[in-house]
Structure 1
Amino acid sequence: MRTNLFRNIFYSFCWLLVLTLSCQKEKGTDLKKPPGTGPDPNTETTFTNPILPSGPDPWVIKQGEYYYYTHTLGNRIGLAKTKAVSRLSQLPLNTVWTPPAGTNYSTNLWAPELHFINGKWYIYFAADDTRDINHRMYVLENTAADPTTGEWVFKGKIADTSDKWAIDGTVLDYNGQLYFIWSGWRGENDPGIQQLYIARMINPWTLEGTRAMLSEPTYAWEKNGLVNEGPQILKNSSGRVFLVYSASGCWTDDYALGMLTLKEGGNPLIPGDWTKSPNPVFKTKPASNAYGPGHNSFFKSPDGKEDWLIYHANSAAKQGCGDTRNPRIQPFTWNADGTPNLGEPVSTGSPIPRPSGEVP
């Protein structure tokens, strides 16, 4: 009698437990996930900025179906490989090269850029020996198909005949000829006064002749720090060339993007063939928590239908040039005259549709 009673009590308890679990499932509670974890981010159709909590000087390049991303780490070079730039927070930035100690390029590695040239990968970066006055540009080479694999070989310093202070190097491929563009000083010791320079490339690690100065701070919005730096090349669908750069000091909230336009059929080495826009093309917007937006690059959506801007900004005023700068992405459009319209920084936390064709 007692056995039957215990059995009935046990069966009743099990039945109540089943009913409870069923009710929870009907109410939408996923018992496999801890409370508050939210939906799987890979099923989301939108994202919000910033895409990483920190990442000064972001750079993205697409090769095949993959994007490769890097930013300033200071003491090494790191790369991430992804099919979805909006999901970079889910990936590590793996170290691919660390400089040896005690060299002219052992410290203060800034603004690395990854380029695919003539079937090989190249990383351009600025570095010094702990003294800023000794900053120069350097080159790494990798022959592997995937730059996150293989061996990165140090090719040496890349400089024109003047060999002055240099940072923020990038590459322009124009009519089959390569050009190197960077930020530098006019003299031997001009801290805080930076111009943009260009020189012809003999190969991906060697420059020919002396440099030509393309731009220096001339407008008021460029002069809070007297800086032109972070040059980036952008081409429209007809091949017209634009050079978007960062102006004013990164330690100020006036840090913004300016633009030079190469005249059609112009010679990139002739400064007069470039025209500077009188106003910034992208600037601080406090309402969007975007202070000092700059040092950008550009990329296409996976399906090639959209153009995207990636840049860093601080989320609050007066945060300067440190690791508080975080990377953000947003689409941009083109004006009727063929010039880019970068718009305004989108507010942090505001949903943005993921790049067209992006998959988890």
Structure 2
Amino acid sequence: MKKRITALASTLLLAAVLGVAGPAAAGQTSLRAADPSVLRVGGTYVSVQSTGAGLAVRQASSPDGLAAAPARQVWSDTRNLGEVWAPEIVTDAGRYYIYFTAGRGAAHRMYVISSASPASGYTAETRMALPDDRWAIDGTMFVFEGQRWFVWSGWAGATNVEQNLYIARMSSPTTTTGARFVISQPRESWERVVGNPFINEGPEPIRDPDGRLHVVYSANGSWSDQYCLADLRLRAGGDPTYVWDWYKSNGCLFGSNRATMMAGWDPTLHADGPGHHTFVLLNGDIATSPPAGPRFPLMYHAVPKGTPYAWENRHWYTGTFTWWGNTTYSRANVPGATTNAGFSLKFFE
């Protein structure tokens, strides 16, 4: 009997790490976890998540099916690097790359592993030599106009003042080259509701139907229901390394608090603090970004309304998004034009 109880306790502990079953509503899955990263390869959806001391991959025939799919451990923190957060899975030339952060306190840095198969055969971790070697999380690679780029959230200096978004060129899927460039700082009133530090994180690149680059990111503290998604849109012909070529949405585009939403965007009805999302692109490639018109798959994490907002109460959710045309973002007291029109995004639970 004692052995059966011990086995049950072990099973429950593993379920708490990799996802626990429970009632789902409005896109809520049974997977109790944060920071989803999902791509589609043919008819298979592939996800990666942190298990606390490693990384696990799931595969299913739909985003909704991922929660029930077996979680296969593909990497373990055998060197005791520390907290393992927010893995991102992408492909490049048919190979899978998982970027993640590991460390303790100010020591968090980006690492990468790779494999020819999505759920096995990954290399040992390699620490990425990011420019300036500062605290870094939430990094991911993408290709835009023939150039590989790496975008991440990090500190300007050696102390936790605020989390900015940075971008750098890449010479290969594992190597950045040249300097890092800040593209966003949490300086707008609606992204400074909850802070200490104030936060821009979870950057996810996508290309709109006009071919313009967007980086959709999470703002406000992830420990609060003020967590939300906002958008950076690169002006037509703009330089991704020049901060003033980026235009920021005038509020949250996906959030649960009306006061911080951009005019014309409504707050969520069922999920609190939606954030750190994934666009579920074919092969994880922004060249496969969807056209204008229909809705397309989305995954994000949030806390069910009516549940205390806490990290341990976050679930993966499925939802959809669509492009929203002719949307003006405005700004003041900065170089360049004060307004910019183009595609934005609408998100649906």
Tell me the TM-score normalized by structure 2. Answer: 0.77
Structure 1 residues 321 and 233, CA gap change in structure 2 (3 angstroms): farther
Are 1:335 and 2:321 counterparts?
no
1:280-319 to structure 2, matched below 5 A, reads: 280-284=252-256, 288-299=269-280, 306-316=295-305, 319=308
The aligned residue for residue 42 of structure 1 is none
Q: Give the Cα–Cα distance (whole angstroms) in 2 for the partners of residues 313 and 283 of structure 1.
A: 10
2:272 counterpart of 1:272: no
Q: Which runs of 4+ in 1 moved over 3 A?
A: 316-321
Q: Distance in 2 between matches of 1:252 and 1:271?
A: 28
Q: Per the alignment, do residues 127 and 319 of structure 1 end up closer, same or farther by CA in structure 2, a change over 3 Å counting?
A: farther
1:321–1:173 CA distance, 2 compared to 1 (3 A) = farther
Q: Is the contact between residue 168 and residue 181 of structure 2 (CA under 8 Å) also seen in structure 1?
A: yes
Aligned to 1:134: 107
The partner residue of 1:65 within 28, 31, 43 is 43
The 1:221–1:215 alpha-carbon spacing in structure 2 relative to 1, beyond 3 Å, is same
The residue matched to 2:166 in structure 1 has which SS? strand
Instruction: Give the one of 104, 116, 124 matched to 2:99.
Output: 124
Q: Which amino acid aligns with 2:321?
A: F
Structure 2: stretches of 5+ with no match in the other structure: 1-23, 258-266, 284-289, 327-341
Q: Decide whether the 8 Å contact of 1:333 with 1:341 is kept in 2.
A: yes
- Of the three residues 81, 92, 99, the one matched with 2:70 is 92
- Determine if contact 1:251/1:318 at 8 Å carries over to the other structure: no
Change (3 A) 1:65 1:249: same
1:128-277 aligned at under 5 Å gives the runs 128=103, 131-142=104-115, 144=116, 146-149=117-120, 151-191=121-161, 193-223=162-192, 224-225=194-195, 226-277=198-249
- Structure 1 pair 269–326 and aligned structure 2 pair: CA distance change class (3 A): same
Task: After superposition, give the CA deviation of every residue in 1:70-102 in whole Å (9 maximum; x if it has no partner).
Answer: 223221100011111112232122111112134
Q: In 2, distance between residues paired with 1:152 and 1:287?
A: 38
TM-score (norm 1): 0.75
Q: How far apart in 1 are the matches of 2:214 and 2:82?
A: 32
Aligned to 1:349: none
Paired residue for 2:89, among 103, 114, 139?
A: 114
Q: Deviations over 1:281-325 (max 9, x none)?
A: 1101687231111000102599x7641221100114684452311
Over 3 Å counting, the alpha-carbon distance change for 1:152 and 1:287 in structure 2 is: closer
Seen in structure 2, the aligned counterparts of structure 1 residues 287 and 261 have a Cα distance that, compared at 3 Å, is closer
Cα distance change of structure 1 residues 205 and 159 upon mapping to structure 2, 3 Å threshold: same
CA distance in 1, matches of 2:126, 2:203: 21
Mapped to 2, the partners of 1:343 and 1:139 lie a distance apart of: 30
Q: Secondary structure at the match of 2:325?
A: coil
Contact 2:39–2:282 (8 Å) recurs in 1: no
Distance 1:326 1:63 in 2: 24
Tell me if the contact between 2:98 and 2:113 (Cα under 8 Å) persists in the aligned partners: yes
Identity value in percent: 35
* Count of residues paired in the alignment: 290
- Superposed CA deviations along residues 199-258 of structure 1, whole A, max 9, x for unmatched, are 111111111122111101111121121100000012123422111000011111111111
- Cα pair 1:295 1:311 within 8 Å, conserved: yes
The answer to whether the 8 A contact 1:201-1:208 is kept is: yes
Report the CA distance between 1:155 and its aligned residue: 4.8
Q: Note closer, same or farther for the CA distance 1:282–1:98 as it changes in structure 2 (3 Å cut).
A: same
Q: Deviations over 1:323-355 (max 9, x none)?
A: 3111111122222335243245x3xxxxxxxxx
**Deviates further, 252-261 or 93-102:** 93-102
Q: Over the residues paired in the alignment, what is the CA RMSD in angstroms?
A: 2.3
CA distance in 2, matches of 1:164, 1:48: 39
Q: Closer, same or farther in 2 for the Cα pair 1:156/1:301, shift >3 Å?
A: closer
Could you tell me how far apart the structure 2 residues matched to 1:316 and 1:116 are?
35
Are the equivalent residues in 1 in contact too, given 2:42–2:282 (CA < 8 A)?
A: no
Amino acid paired to 2:65: R
Bigger proportion of residues as strand: 2
Question: Quick one: structure 1 residues 342 and 287, their matched pair in 2 at CA, closer, same or farther if it must change by over 3 Å?
Answer: closer
Look up the SS of the partner of 2:318 in the other structure.
strand
Equivalent positions of 1:47-66 (< 5 A) are 48-66=26-44
* 309-318 or 156-165, which deviates more: 309-318
Moved more, 174-183 or 152-161: 152-161
Stretches of structure 1 lacking an aligned partner (at least 5 in a row) = 1-45, 347-360
Task: Flag the 1:266–1:118 CA change in 2: closer, same or farther, 3 A.
Answer: same
Whole-angstrom CA distance in 2 between matches of 1:80 and 1:296: 17
**Take 1:49 and 1:152, find their aligned partners in 2: how far apart are those partners?**
31
